[in-house]
């Protein structure tokens, strides 16, 4: 996994990037709430939102291909649930509405995270008094997610280079060992991180 795939363009310079993280988060969430929970869903609301998001995307100077790709990656999950509505009477209208709503909300969230560094979002969450221990957990998760993903990829490569053809049962067992090692390494790393944090004068708030 490329470590910067998710927020590769979050540090560009554009009018959208320059907005403060807190208000941007609030606006994004309000927009999503409005689109997702408006009961009757007038098409005019969906149209206005589409136009607004397109304008913001253009303003942000992020390559459209990147935004489109992220949208396409997330879309199948929405499609999978939406398809169920097709199986009931009058489901097609529901299918279209649900798909339009979820796509717009997805686009709004993707645009938000693509134009805001995650650390700024975390700082905004801290400012609205989300419990400190939870924000710290989120920050550590974000920081070490890529480290562990790399570690897992290295172990995978090592395993592949030592085993040619294995049957699925062996494969599963090997993967279970890899996963357990991953946990043990994460556990030990947590101990070292605590030592490092303490050495730098960290205090629980």
Partner 1 sequence: MHIPDGFLDAKTAVTSGVLAVTGLGLALRRVRQTLPPQQMPLLGLAAAFIFAAQMLNFPVAGGTSGHLLGGALAAALLGPAAAVVAMSAVLVLQCLLFSDGGVTALGANLFNMALAAPVAAWLVYRPLARVADRRLAVACAAWVSTLTAALLCAGELAWSGRVGWSLVFPAMGGIHALIGLGEALLTALILGAIAAARPELLDAENTVPRRAVLGLGLLLSLGLVLFVAPFACPWPDGFEKIAAQLGFEQHGSTLFKAPLADYAVPGLQWEKLGIILSGAIGTLAVFVLVWVLVRMIAKRKQDHAA
Distance CA 30, CA 36 (A): 10
Interaction between residue 201 and partner 1 (CB under 8 A): no
Stretch of 15-23, 49-57, 58-66, 170-178 contacting partner 1, by CB under 8 A:
170-178
**Cβ 38 vs Cβ 105: under 8 Å:** no
Interaction between residue 115 and partner 1 (CB under 8 A): no
Site string for partner 1, 32-71 (x = CB under 8 A): xx-xxx-x------------------------------x-
Q: How far is the CB of 203 from partner 1 (least distance, A)?
A: 9
Distance CA 155, CA 159 (A): 6
Stretch of 15-23, 52-60, 97-105, 157-165 contacting partner 1, by CB under 8 A:
97-105
**Cβ 79 vs Cβ 99: under 8 Å:** yes
Residues whose CB falls within 8 Å of the CB of residue 32, separated by 6 or more in sequence, listed in order: 105, 108, 109
Binder among 12, 19, 53, 139 for partner 1 (CB under 8 A): 139
Binder among 77, 96, 127, 154 for partner 1 (CB under 8 A): 77
Interaction between residue 94 and partner 1 (CB under 8 A): yes
Residue whose CB is less far from partner 1, 14 or 197: 197
**Cβ 92 vs Cβ 64: under 8 Å:** no
> Long-range contacts made by residues 168-173, C-beta under 8 angstroms, separation at least 24?
none
Name the H helices within 61-131. Answer: 64-82, 91-115, 118-127
Interaction between residue 171 and partner 1 (CB under 8 A): yes
Interaction between residue 204 and partner 1 (CB under 8 A): yes
Residue whose CB is less far from partner 1, 14 or 113: 113
Residues whose CB falls within 8 Å of the CB of residue 70, separated by 6 or more in sequence, listed in order: 110, 114
Stretch of 12-20, 49-57, 58-66, 102-110 contacting partner 1, by CB under 8 A:
102-110
């Amino acid at each position: 996994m490329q470590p910067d795939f998710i927020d590769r363009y979050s540090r560009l310079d554009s009018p959208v990037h320059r907005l403060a993280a807190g208000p941007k988060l609030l606006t994004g969430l309000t927009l999503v709430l409005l689109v997702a929970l408006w009961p009757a869903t007038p098409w005019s609301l969906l149209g206005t939102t589409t136009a607004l998001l397109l304008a913001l995307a253009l303003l942000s100077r992020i390559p459209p291909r990147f935004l489109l790709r992220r949208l396409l990656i997330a879309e199948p999950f929405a499609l999978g649930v939406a398809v169920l509505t097709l199986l009931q009477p009058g489901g097609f209208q529901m299918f279209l509405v649900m798909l339009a709503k979820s796509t717009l909300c997805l686009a709004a969230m993707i645009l938000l995270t693509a134009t805001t560094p995650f650390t700024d979002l975390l700082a905004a969450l801290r400012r609205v008094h989300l419990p400190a221990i939870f924000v710290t957990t989120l920050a550590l998760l974000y920081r070490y997610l890529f480290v562990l993903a790399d570690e897992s990829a290295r172990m995978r490569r090592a395993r592949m280079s030592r085993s040619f053809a294995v049957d699925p049962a062996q494969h599963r067992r090997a993967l279970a060992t890899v996963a357990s090692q991953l946990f043990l390494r994460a556990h030990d790393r947590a101990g070292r991180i605590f030592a490092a944090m303490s050495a730098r004068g960290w205090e629980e708030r």
